Structure 1
Amino acid sequence: MTIDNLKDLYIDQLKDLYSACKQSMPIVTEMGRAAHSRELAEALIAGNEGIGRGMESLAKLCNDHGEDPTGEHCKGMEGLVTEAKKHAIDAKFGDDDVRDAAIITQYQRLTHYAIAGYGCVRTFANRLGLDGDGAVLQECLDSTRHGDVHMTKIAEGGVNKAAAEA
């Protein structure tokens, strides 16, 4: 696909973000299984549900524009998933709370990438006068930010304290 204008870039980025979400789901599931804290595990399950809802929204937006959301491969998320696996799943930990702190770190990196993506496509949609698209993407952005804030509360609420005492 040649990107000739902002609409082309918008569609390209919707597909890239769809790929990013699809790639992130398996590692979030793995991190949820590896989490020691029940609160963290539940938050990761909720995070995956949110990622799934975001993918549904992205697919619908692509379809509404006559585009298939698949076919793009997000290299940025590929790298973040590799890092999450290396630093939160495959690394050797002497303490479960330290692993939980690592899981939160890696999850938030994935989340911040998604926040950037949703913010950009929302802004493109609004500039293109696609107000309905913009509203859907704002909901996705708000949900993703909420998940990030919740992870920060889990970290500050006890995980990091417990990890520091290890």
Structure 2
Amino acid sequence: MSAPNSLKDVYLDEMKDLWSANDQMTRAVKQLGEKVSDPKLKQMLEHSVGGIEKHTGVLKQLIEAAGGQAEPEHCKGMEGLVTEALKHGIKEASSDGKLQDVAIIAQYQRMSHYGLAGFGSAAAYAKVLGMSDAETKLKQAVSEIYKGDEYASKLAEAVEQAAA
């Protein structure tokens, strides 16, 4: 990636980063989902994978519509978050299923919050660039991610009480 020369370049770079982040998060969430004990959490993670893949499709479409090269730019930020998620959610997991679920929810939310920041920034760039269709689609993704995060928080409260 070369240094951006315009806001449009920053916008495209952000979305390519998000594409890579989503690909990495999808793989991690699938792995984490195999380790959960709570059926509602398992269902939420499976549903989340579909949402992440949907958002990746939106990113590809918007990159192409903006005249960018449709390929991801490796996201080192998500790489670190995924490494931590797998470490704390699987490799160093508690033998107590409820405690492991608590750790998995926390790791899932950390990765989701990275996406919130990126999609929110991309929506702001699209607005300034006068790309109202892109802004709408990116804001919709932010809204969907927030809903998933809120549901994860509710699950976390229930699982934490059960673990206590």
Q: TM-score, normalised by structure 2?
A: 0.96
TM-score by length of 1: 0.95
Q: Which residue of structure 2 lines up, in the alignment, with residue 28 of structure 1? A: 29
Match for 1:81: what amino acid? V
SS at match of 1:34: coil
Give the structure 1 partner of residue 118 of structure 2. 117
Stretches of structure 2 that go unaligned for 5 or more consecutive residues are none
How much has 1:25 moved relative to structure 2?
0.5
- For the aligned residue pairs, the C-alpha RMSD in angstroms reads 0.9
1:71, distance to aligned residue in structure 2 (A) = 4.0
Alpha-carbon distance change, 74 to 134 in structure 1, aligned in 2, over 3 angstroms? same
Alignment of 1:135 with 2:136, yes or no, is yes
User: Equivalent residues in 2 for 1:11-160 (5 A)?
Assistant: 11-156=12-157, 158-160=158-160
**How many residue pairs end up in the alignment?**
163
Counterparts of 2:70 and 2:19, CA distance in 1: 7
Mean CA deviation greater in 112-121 or 64-73: 64-73
Distance 1:54 1:111 in 2: 12
User: How far apart, in 2, do the equivalents of 1:152 and 1:2 lie?
Assistant: 38
Identity in percent: 39
Runs of 4+ in 1 over 6 A off after TM superposition: none
Give the Å deviation of 1:92: 3.7
Q: Is the contact made by 1:17 and 1:117 (CA closer than 8 Å) also made in structure 2?
A: yes
Is there any run of 5+ residues in structure 1 with no aligned partner, and where?
Answer: none
Residue type at the aligned position of 2:24: Q
